[in-house]
Amino acid sequence: MKMKLFAVILAAALLCACGKAAESVSVSSSAVETAYNLPDGFVYVDDVIPDVVLEMRYATAHNFTGAPMDGYNAEVCILTKEAADALKIAAQKFAADGWRIHIYDTYRPQAALDYIIAWGDSDDEACREEFYPTLTKAQLFTDGYLSKRSRHTRGSTVDMTLEDKDGTLIDVGGPYDLLDPLSNFDTPDITEEQRKNRYYIQAIMTEAGFDTIPTEWWHYQLRNEPYPDTYFDFPVE
């Protein structure tokens, strides 16, 4: 991961230099190193699972708040080493069936939770139609879709789905982060094929050591997580 970021920064610097030949451009490798000092026990998931697909929604505006969330400084994917190793086992099983893991969120800093709480108290409902069309913002909290504490903040939880070799997502009957009863794992409002796909993902993830929750088909948390009582707040970068 370090080498990949360094290559991207160096390439960007060289492009700038081409446009301004009279100016010298330098890249500090120490600055790159500083940006990647993860706490002990945490890893970048694509260092462990190179073919994982990342779509880190909370680092972008494509989420229910309509803006990048506090604490997400880069579109990178971080988990505890134990969770990443368990996810690798699942990835190998999915790959045998022609699927790749597609990740939307993993470790989530407490700053992002504080941001979500502040958003919940605001009048902003710009993204309601896409993400919570049938519920009020207050119901998102009372019905358990959002909370002041998150398992993600402990570093061993992943929001995920699957995609095939062509990039087509597996059909599970609803999009990621749809805060709605349709996302409940056992909703009656999906087809048998969509239900089968949800249970297919669950079976492999459960075998790899993860549990799910009733309200979100995409949510998996490591059963034996290493930090069950610690809520981290280091930035995602």
Cα angle 25, 26, 32 (rounded to 5 degrees) comes to 135
Cα separation of 57 and 224, whole Å? 26
224's tokens: 């034996």
**Among the options 75, 192, 193, 216, which is catalytic?**
216
Residue 166's alpha-carbon distances to 62, 94, 99, 169, 176, in angstroms, are 22, 15, 10, 9, 19
Cα separation of 207 and 87, whole Å? 10
Q: Is 216 a catalytic residue?
A: yes
Supply the residues annotated as catalytic: 216
